[in-house]
Amino acid sequence: MAETRSERVAQWSEHADQLCDDGESVERRVDLENATVVVTNRRVMTFVPDADGPEFRHAERPNVGTVSVETVDRFRRLCWGIAAAFVGVGLLEAARAVSFVDYVPASGLQDTGPFPGSTAIERLVDGALSAIETVLLVLDWGVLLSGVGALVVAVALVWRYVRSRSRRIVLRVRGGNDIVVPVSRADLETDLIAEIETAIRPKAASESASASMGASTLEESADIDGGRDEGLRDDPHDDERARTDRPDAEWLGDEESG
């Protein structure tokens, strides 16, 4: 029994026929270094053990468009990562250099001396200043945490950029999400992409094969007809053989000459 996800996906890829519906059969199986593509007479199945999303994807063959090798959004992720890093550094520098709490003024009512109702006004002003100080303190922490968050996002984007540098096979699916399959340099050198493309579209190959078979059949028919025509031509030695075989018979040629 499989112990890991990769082993379970590998087992399913080896028994893809169990996933076929009634009347469906496996026509071609292409084993890549990090994935498996199975083409049936109805669908295209992909098994990717280490995929970030679903490890098993399938699509109806008529809905599968182009099959290409792409490196999607690699440079864009790097640019976004650099921009996020600049924003994070800027926010951290602002949080270090500026403290919004320091801009909260003192009430100043203690220097004016007591007057009727001063205690209530002093409490009201102190409460308002305390609320403003709390808001500015939250703003200070917000700037600091935003800077840290921007740096984390920058690191994540750069990491995804590094991971996305490997090439991928993209199967364009009309009316659905595209199917992405990882591909290695060895897979590209063995021309497996063309094999997948041919497997998905077998009609083009069968038509060319039928055309070549038809051409060869016509050539053979022409050769046979040519042989028959040559056999039907008059042989100059036939007259001599006829005279030898029938010496007592009147020969038409002699009769005409006489």
Clarify whether residues 14 and 137 are in a common domain: no
Asked if residue 151 is part of any domain, the answer here is yes
Number of domains comprising the chain? 2
Mean pLDDT score, 192-206: 74
**Domain span holding position 86:** 74-163
Mean pLDDT score, 47-63: 85
Nearest one of 70, 51, 52 to 165, comparing CA atoms: 70
What's the chain's average pLDDT? 75
Check residue 90 and give its pLDDT: 92
Asked if residue 205 is part of any domain, the answer here is no
Asked if residue 91 is part of any domain, the answer here is yes
Q: How far apart are CA 79 and CA 75, in angstroms?
A: 6
Check residue 131 and give its pLDDT: 82
Asked if residue 174 is part of any domain, the answer here is yes
Clarify whether residues 92 and 156 are in a common domain: yes
Clarify whether residues 54 and 89 are in a common domain: no
Query: Which amino acid makes up residue 195?
Result: E
Clarify whether residues 172 and 67 are in a common domain: yes
**How many beta carbons lie within 10 A of that of residue 164, not counting itself?**
17
More confident residue, 108 or 256: 108
Q: How far apart are CA 23 and CA 25, in angstroms?
A: 7
Are residues 77 and 161 in contact, defined by beta-carbon separation less than 8 angstroms? yes
- pTM > 0.85: yes or no: no
**Distant-in-sequence, close-in-space partners of 67: CB < 8 Å, separation ≥ 6:** 169, 170, 171, 172, 193, 196, 197, 200
Give the per-residue SS3 of the chain.
CCCCHHHHHHHHHHCHHHHCCCCCCEEEEEECCCCEEEEECCEEEEECCCCCCCCEEEEEHHHEEEEEEECCCHHHHHHHHHHHHHHHHHHHHHHHHCCHHHHCCCCCHHHCCCCCCHHHHHHHHHHHHHHHHHHHHHHHHHHHHHHHHHHHHHHHHHHHHHHCCCCEEEEEECCCCCEEEECCHHHHHCCHHHHHHHHHCHHHHHHHHHHHHHHHHHHHHHHHHHHHHHHHCCCCHHHHHHHHHCCCCCCHHHHHHC
Are residues 171 and 44 in contact, defined by beta-carbon separation less than 8 angstroms? yes
pLDDT of 126 higher than 50: yes
Phi-psi region of 73 (alpha: psi -120 to 50; beta: other; left: phi over 0): left
- Range among 109-123, 218-232, 236-250 rated most confident: 109-123
Asked if residue 179 is part of any domain, the answer here is yes
Asked if residue 233 is part of any domain, the answer here is no
Check residue 218 and give its pLDDT: 46
Clarify whether residues 85 and 117 are in a common domain: yes
Asked if residue 244 is part of any domain, the answer here is no
Clarify whether residues 78 and 196 are in a common domain: no
HSE (CB half, 13 Å, CA atoms) of 30? 24
- When pLDDT is cut at 50, 70 and 90, the band that residue 114 belongs to is low
Clarify whether residues 62 and 178 are in a common domain: yes
- Range among 110-119, 178-187, 238-247 rated most confident: 178-187
Mean pLDDT score, 36-52: 88
Clarify whether residues 25 and 59 are in a common domain: yes
Clarify whether residues 187 and 140 are in a common domain: no
Clarify whether residues 67 and 173 are in a common domain: yes
Check residue 145 and give its pLDDT: 92
Asked if residue 214 is part of any domain, the answer here is no
Domain C-terminal end among 152, 183, 200 = 200
Phi-psi region of 113 (alpha: psi -120 to 50; beta: other; left: phi over 0): left
For 101, the token pair is 């709490």
pLDDT tens string 200-222: 886 644 444 454 555 455 455 55
Clarify whether residues 35 and 138 are in a common domain: no
Question: Picking from 5-9, 42-46, 218-222, 249-253, which range would have the lowest pLDDT averaged per residue?
Answer: 249-253
Clarify whether residues 100 and 58 are in a common domain: no
pLDDT of 258 higher than 50: no
Q: What percent of the chain has pLDDT over 90?
A: 15
Residue written as tokens 């490890």?
A: 55
